């Protein structure tokens, strides 16, 4: 039996100047006291002035201390500010870590306790439960304004990292899905090229792992195929400073949406389980983890589920013969290698100073996350995880 469950997402607004719709969307939802959450770089940028202008008098305060991988202490500080200022909405402006931080901070407010201490495995079954709000009031309003291609705005949960252990865990709740996502490419002009490109590779990661998941669905497959084509076509042209690159950035932003919209139905796979632990363990940005882990994961899956690469091949405009599915699946992985090679991004852990003797430290956490995903056709062993880590290393 097939089923496809929808999240609380109500609207996606795309295009240059889309940020100007912020006030209208907040007013429609009766939100008057807004915390603007961002990171340090954007907090110093001229771009934040455009967001504040769009918020007008609704902007109660700015929290500009969100950081990579959502450190628990920063999330707690954001949650405290939300409560102390009696905010009824949050606007997250930045990449996936900012958006995740906002979601977990809102979870603490909604539940009346510190949810960074209750983060656990990424359990997709919690994403579509009852949609109750705060006692005596509506659900908290969260509008996300992404400046990278992480697609964190399209999930009803957020990751948070324990600073002591460097382990990343998740808080999942249907109320945490931002109700509106604003894709304004003009707000992405200061996003560094490496960050933009690496999160663009993450779009491929989302889409490919959605397609070869064992619970693949025709809707998520169709969206993922389109996402792959959009990124392959528009990511190279989205770089640079010409006016024309703004339109390509909008296409990349929308590709990020398509790539992850169905993932909480299908689950994700090896590359994400590896990346979620590689990132906080060694300070590797999310997008870069995809540059490192996606191809080894694809080559592993070419043995596990080669027939599911047919749609990936279609998206990459490659031939696919089901009588030689494994070979054509591996050709898909080779095509991704060639595409990533067009950009100046790390592709191996050894390039990032990771010590070989620490390589297997994350294997237990990776296995735990894979069990939560339940997206593969068979169990993966610790030895196989270690082999994948070696492949990602050099």
Sign of CA dihedral 301, 306, 310, 314: positive
Average pLDDT, the chain: 94
Average pLDDT over residues 58-85: 97
* pTM of structure: 0.93
pLDDT at 286: 87
Q: How many CB atoms lie within 10 A of CB 334?
A: 14
- Residues present in the chain in total: 394
Q: Which of 6, 2, 73, 68 is nearest to 261 (CA)?
A: 6
Give the span between the Cα atoms of 107 and 114, in whole angstroms: 8
Q: What is the CA radius of gyration of the chain?
A: 20
Split at pLDDT 50, 70, 90, the class of 373 is confident
Give residue-wise pLDDT tens across range 256-314: 999 999 888 998 899 999 999 999 899 999 899 999 999 999 999 999 999 999 999 99
Q: Is 218 exposed, middle or buried (0-12, 13-18, 19+ CB in 10 A)?
A: exposed
The contacts of residue 84 (CB under 8 Å, 6+ apart) are: none
Element of type H or E holding 255: helix 245-260
Split at pLDDT 50, 70, 90, the class of 31 is very high
Average pLDDT over residues 317-341: 98
* CA distances for 362 relative to 162, 167, 330, angstroms: 14, 9, 26
Triad 284, 268, 115: Cα angle to 5°: 70
Which domains are assigned to the chain?
11-187 (3.40.50.1970), 192-393 (1.20.1090.10)
The contacts of residue 158 (CB under 8 Å, 6+ apart) are: 70, 99, 100, 101, 102, 103, 104, 107, 152, 170, 171, 176
Give the span between the Cα atoms of 366 and 382, in whole angstroms: 9
Chain centroid, CA 394 distance in Å: 25
Q: Which of 367, 252, 349 is nearest to 291 (CA)?
A: 349
Q: Is there a contact between 89 and 142 (Cβ–Cβ < 8 Å)?
A: yes
Give residue-wise pLDDT tens across range 87-135: 999 999 999 999 999 999 999 999 999 999 999 877 777 888 754 443 4
Give, rounded to a whole angstrom, the gap between the first and last alpha carbons of the chain: 42
The encoded tokens of residue 50 equal: 């455009």
Give the span between the Cα atoms of 59 and 55, in whole angstroms: 6
């Amino acid at each position: 039996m097939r089923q496809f469950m929808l999240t609380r997402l109500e609207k996606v607004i795309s295009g240059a100047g889309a940020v100007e719709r912020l006030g209208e969307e907040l007013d429609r939802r009766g939100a008057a006291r807004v915390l603007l959450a961002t990171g340090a770089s954007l907090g110093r940028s001229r771009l934040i002035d455009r967001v504040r202008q769009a918020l007008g008098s609704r902007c109660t305060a700015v929290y500009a201390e969100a950081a990579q991988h959502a450190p628990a202490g920063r999330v707690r500080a954001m949650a405290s500010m939300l409560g102390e200022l009696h905010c009824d909405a949050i606007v997250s402006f930045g990449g996936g870590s900012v958006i995740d931080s906002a979601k977990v901070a809102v979870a603490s407010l909604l539940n009346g306790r510190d949810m960074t201490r209750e983060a656990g495995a990424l359990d997709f079954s919690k994403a579509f439960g009852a949609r109750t709000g705060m006692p005596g009031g509506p659900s908290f309003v969260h509008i996300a304004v992404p400046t990278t291609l992480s697609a964190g705005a399209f999930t009803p949960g957020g990751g948070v990292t324990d600073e002591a252990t460097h382990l990343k865990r998740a808080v999942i709740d249907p109320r945490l899905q931002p109700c509106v996502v604003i894709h304004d490419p003009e707000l992405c002009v200061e996003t560094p090229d490496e960050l933009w490109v690496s999160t663009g590779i993450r779009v491929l990661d989302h889409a490919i792992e959605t397609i070869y998941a064992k619970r693949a669905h025709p809707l998520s497959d169709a969206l993922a195929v389109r996402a792959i084509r959009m990124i392959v076509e528009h990511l190279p042209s989205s770089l640079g400073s010409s006016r024309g690159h703004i339109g390509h950035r909008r296409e990349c932003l929308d590709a990020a949406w398509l790539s992850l919209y169905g993932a909480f139905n299908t689950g994700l796979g090896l590359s994400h389980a590896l990346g979620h632990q590689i990132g906080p363990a060694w300070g590797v940005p999310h997008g870069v983890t995809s540059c490192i882990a996606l191809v080894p994961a694809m080559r592993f899956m070419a043995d596990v589920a080669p027939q599911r690469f047919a749609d990936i091949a279609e998206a990459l405009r490659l031939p696919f013969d089901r009588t030689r599915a494994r070979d054509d699946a591996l050709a898909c992985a080779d095509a991704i290698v060639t595409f990533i090679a067009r950009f100046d991004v790390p592709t191996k852990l050894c390039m990032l100073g990771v010590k070989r003797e620490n390589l297997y430290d994350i294997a237990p956490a990776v296995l735990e996350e894979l069990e939560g995903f339940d997206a593969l056709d068979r169990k993966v062993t610790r030895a196989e995880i270690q082999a994948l880590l070696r492949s990602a290393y050099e």
